[in-house]
Homo-oligomer: A and B are copies of this chain.
Amino acid sequence: MQEFEFIRHIHRHCEELPANGFEGIGDDCAVLELGDEALVFTADALMEGVHFLRHTTSPRELGHKALAVNLSDVAAMGVRPVAVMLSISLPRDLDEGWAEAFIKGFTALAKQHQVALIGGDTTRSEQGIALSVTAIGRGPRTSLKRRREAHVGDTLLVTAPLGASAAGLRELLQGHLNHPLAAQHRTPQPEIEVGMWLGLRPEVHAMMDLSDGLASDICHIAEESHVGFDLDLATIPVAEGATREDAICGGEDYKLLLTANSDSAAQLCRDFEARFARPLYPIGHISSHEMRWHEKGVAVATPTPYFHHF
């Protein structure tokens, strides 16, 4: 059975359930608005052999990554991650050093971003390590950025050069475990301060994090906002050591993709650079219907996303 078939079952049965004030499936996080405030919620599972291999990822790096991917979802909503829950299932053959190193990696990133660890579950696993992390974010209701808020005419932007993670995965699979790009794949840095800063800017309309790859993720903004886009391949910033294909088709960069009012985009870019000492990158525009890819003005075929898990 395919994952998407299962998701279809879930959607069909979910429709019979109440919303209870939550905005559910369809964005990086579920949202609960409470007066002037909003809380957001996200959960991710990481399975050994599917999302990571024990011999190519150290436990400390895995602890970092398990948290990073969830914090990234919260950052993509424009608010601060405040708390996480960790459920972890460990096989008997794992030595104690592994678990302690995992927790060190997890809590080091939590400490860096001042996130509370408020609960979870620890159990035994018959085979393989299973991880599940739930993250909670909190912020002003007006800061929330959703995938469905892109407007026709908006400028499309990304917050950093892309492709380092896909290039790093290639190095890993070739056995170059200590390659600097491999480290970027194993320990992504979520754009938390950047996400919160963009949350406070009213000219930013839609936002999401890049986890499956630009070619794939941009379609979610288009679908949820009922819009199209014009995107020029030549304007996409490529991370050092990555190919342009990595930047467009590779996943797990955990940088942010956003749309902003085009009248304000130039000022937004200047303010971003003044605040973060690095550029914000315009890569195209939101249009009314079609999803169109160009290269220096010439239409090209839609890029095919990599299959980026093991």
Question: Which residues of A are at the interface with B, using a C-beta cutoff of 8 A?
Answer: 1, 3, 5-7, 9-10, 13-14, 16-25, 29-30, 32, 34, 37, 39, 41-51, 82-83, 85-90, 94-96, 99-100, 103-104, 106-107, 110-111, 114-128, 130, 132, 134, 136, 138
Contact = CB atoms under 8 A, between A and B. Distances in A.
27 contacts: A1-B99, A6-B122, A9-B99, A10-B86, A10-B103, A10-B122, A16-B107, A20-B115, A20-B138, A21-B82, A39-B39, A41-B83, A41-B134, A43-B132, A45-B87, A45-B121, A46-B123, A47-B89, A49-B125, A49-B127, A50-B89, A50-B125, A50-B126, A51-B123, A89-B130, A125-B130, A130-B130
Contacts of A34: 34, 37
One complex includes copies of this chain to the number of 2
B45 A123 contact: yes
Candidate in A16, A30, A106 with the most chain B CB atoms within 10 angstroms:
A30
Pairs of residues from A and B, 6 with the lowest C-beta to C-beta distance, nearest first: A49-B126, A132-B132, A30-B118, A24-B118, A13-B107, A45-B87
B20 A116 contact: yes
Contacts of A136: 41
A29 B119 contact: yes
A301 to B, nearest CB: 29
B43 A121 contact: yes
A122 B6 CA distance: 8
A47 B125 CA distance: 6
